[in-house]
Amino acid sequence: MKNSSPMLCFSLVLFSLLSSPSSSARIFSSVVPSAAPSPAVTTTETDLSSFTQWNILDLTDFKNLPDLSKLNISSLHVSPTVDSVCSGTDYAAECVVSILPLLRNFRKFEPKPIDVLRMELSALYEKANATLDLAKRLIVDQSTPRDVADVLDLCVENYESLLVDLNDASVAVDNGDVGRLDSLVSAAIADVVTCSDAFTESPELESPMANVDAFLKKLCSNVLAISHMIYM
C-alpha cells in the first residue's frame, strides 16, 4: 500500500483537475478562441457551392452540369456594375457564375463594364481550353465508341480554332475594335456549332460535348451582348 499511495494521490489530483469546468476551459482556450465566430452558412453559399466548384475548369461531370437557369443572380450579391451588365445579356446566370473567381480582383473597387467584358472573355477562353482537353481525353478513352472518337477529332480541330479566335478577340477588346471583336466571336460560335452539327449529322451518335458546347455558345452570346452595350 505504501508503494501505491503516490500513484493513488496522483490519480486523485488528475481526476480533480479534469473534473473542474474552469480547468477544462483553460485546456481548450489555446485551441479554440473564446470569441471565435461560428461558421456562417447562408442560403447564398449553399446554393452557390456546386456552381463555384464546377465554375470554369471542372468538366469531370460534363453530363450533369448545374442548371443555371434556376439560379437567382440577385442572391449572389455581386457589384452593381456586374449585376447590371450581366442582366443585360440573354444568359445572366452564366455571365455571373463564369466570372465569379475573377471578381476577387475587384474587392476594393467597382469594376467597369469593359472589365466585365474582359472577364467574360477570359472565362470563355478558359472554358474553351478545358473543353479541348476534355475532347482529347475522350478520344483516347477506351470506353469511347470509335465512331464518336472520329467525330471528336473534328471537334478538336474546331476547339483549337476557337482558342485562336478568342485570343485574337482579346486583342480586339484592348484595341477597342468592336467590328473585329464581333467577327471573331461570331467565328468562335461557328467553331462550336461545327462540332455540334457533326453529331447532328449522325443522329445515332450521342455527343459527349453537348452540354459544354451549349455553355460555350452562351458565353459567346454574352460577350457579344456586353460588347454591344459598351461600344454601340
Please name each of the domains of the chain with its CATH number: 1-36 (no CATH), 43-231 (1.20.140.40)
pLDDT value at 74 more than 90: no
The pLDDT of residue 66 is 67
What does the pLDDT look like over 6-16, one tens digit per residue? 444 434 333 34
What is the average per-residue pLDDT within 217-231?
95
pTM of the model: 0.74
What does the pLDDT look like over 132-152, one tens digit per residue? 999 999 999 999 999 999 999
C-alpha cell at 120: 467574360
C-alpha cell at 51: 456552381
What is the average per-residue pLDDT within 54-68?
58
